[in-house]
């Protein structure tokens, strides 16, 4: 651990309510744990936040989702794409807005963190489909998007500590990376549990860096492979936490070859375009 115990202690004291989830997007995510939820209810929730609704509609009409017809209203988009995919778009739109800071060092790290998280979301969805697990595509998107949520929390916590001057420390890249490496998994699980995020996403946050994994957990294998490959594609600029030496177990489990991996890289690099 390359940072002080005082800093660790202050981080652990920070409020769990630091803004890492948009309340409306969070409500949607929690709501979809109920398989009986009605489409009209999903529409009603999105429309609570006009700014988020606009961003969701814009994303629903982007080239990745538009298909044959554009959506003129949120209800049109929900009817066309379904509640799960709309929730994915709402969470992505809200997360993009939260990855910003007035501190130039923190802002630059947040920018790269968003690039990594967005690329992993797209990559997990792509790999779920290409590896024959299309039914997991929407869950894979959200799992990729949220797997590093602990880093966003830590960034906001450290910025708050720096501004409060509770302790003196250097808010530089080296310190941020040391804190990420040591704490982002435990803090990611902590905030997900606090906000009642569905257990499958908590499990992803907990185990995406583990030395081994349950071979029956296909969703985790997808996230681990995508996260590992993000380094090869220069979409993870801060991989301080020691990774497994390779992703061969995940590749074997998912039965993917060069064509699937080439498509994965293409789909993830879209965020750089």
Question: What are the sequence ranges of the domains in the chain?
Answer: 5-272
Alpha-carbon distance of 154 to 16, in angstroms, equals 11
The pLDDT score that the predictor gives to residue 191 is 94
In this prediction, the residues of the chain whose per-residue pLDDT falls under 70 are: 1, 64-68, 238-243, 273
Its pTM stands at: 0.91
Architecture of the domain whose range is 5-272: Orthogonal Bundle (1.10)
Number of other CB atoms surrounding residue 125 within 10 Å = 27
Please name the residue that has the structure tokens 């538009």: 66
Is the alpha carbon torsion for 154, 157, 163, 168 positive or negative? negative
The pLDDT score that the predictor gives to residue 241 is 60
Query: Could you say which DSSP state residue 148 is in?
Result: T
Buried b (16+ CB within 10 A) or exposed e, 129-142: bbbebeebbbbbbb
Q: Counting Cβ atoms within 10 Å, is residue 41 exposed (0-12), middle (13-18) or buried (19+)?
A: middle
The pLDDT score that the predictor gives to residue 67 is 63
Q: Of 110, 144, 127, 123, nearest to 238 (Cα)? A: 110
Average pLDDT, the chain: 90
Quote the percentage of the chain above a pLDDT of 70: 95
pLDDT (tens digit per residue) in 16-28: 888 999 999 999 8
pLDDT (tens digit per residue) in 118-177: 999 999 999 999 999 999 999 999 999 999 999 999 999 999 999 998 888 889 999 999
Alpha-carbon distance of 169 to 250, in angstroms, equals 39
């Amino acid at each position: 651990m390359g940072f002080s115990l005082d800093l660790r202690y202050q981080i652990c004291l920070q409020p769990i309510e630091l803004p890492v989830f948009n309340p409306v997007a969070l409500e949607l995510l929690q709501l979809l744990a109920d398989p009986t939820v009605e489409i009209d209810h999903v529409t009603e929730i999105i429309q609570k936040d006009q700014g988020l609704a606009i961003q969701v509609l814009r994303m629903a009409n982007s080239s990745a989702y538009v298909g044959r017809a554009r959506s003129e209203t949120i209800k049109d988009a929900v009817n066309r794409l379904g509640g799960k995919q709309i929730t994915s778009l709402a969470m992505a739109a809200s997360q993009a807005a939260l990855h910003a800071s007035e501190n130039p060092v923190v802002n630059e790290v947040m920018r790269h963190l968003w690039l990594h998280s967005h690329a992993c979301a797209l990559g997990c969805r792509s790999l779920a489909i290409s590896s024959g697990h299309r039914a997991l595509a929407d869950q894979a998107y959200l799992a990729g998007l949220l797997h590093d949520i602990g880093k966003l929390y830590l960034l906001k916590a450290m910025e708050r500590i720096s501004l409060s001057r509770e302790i003196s420390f250097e808010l530089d890249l080296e310190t941020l990376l040391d804190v990420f490496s040591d704490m982002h998994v435990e803090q990611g699980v902590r905030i997900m549990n606090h906000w009642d995020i569905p257990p499958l996403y908590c499990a992803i946050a907990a185990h995406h860096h583990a030395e081994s994994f349950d071979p029956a957990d296909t969703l985790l294998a997808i996230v681990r492979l995508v996260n590992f490959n993000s380094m090869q594609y220069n979409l993870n600029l801060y991989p301080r936490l020691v990774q497994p030496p390779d992703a061969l177990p995940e590749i074997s489990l998912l039965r993917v070859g060069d064509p699937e991996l080439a498509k994965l890289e293409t789909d993830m690099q879209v965020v750089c375009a």
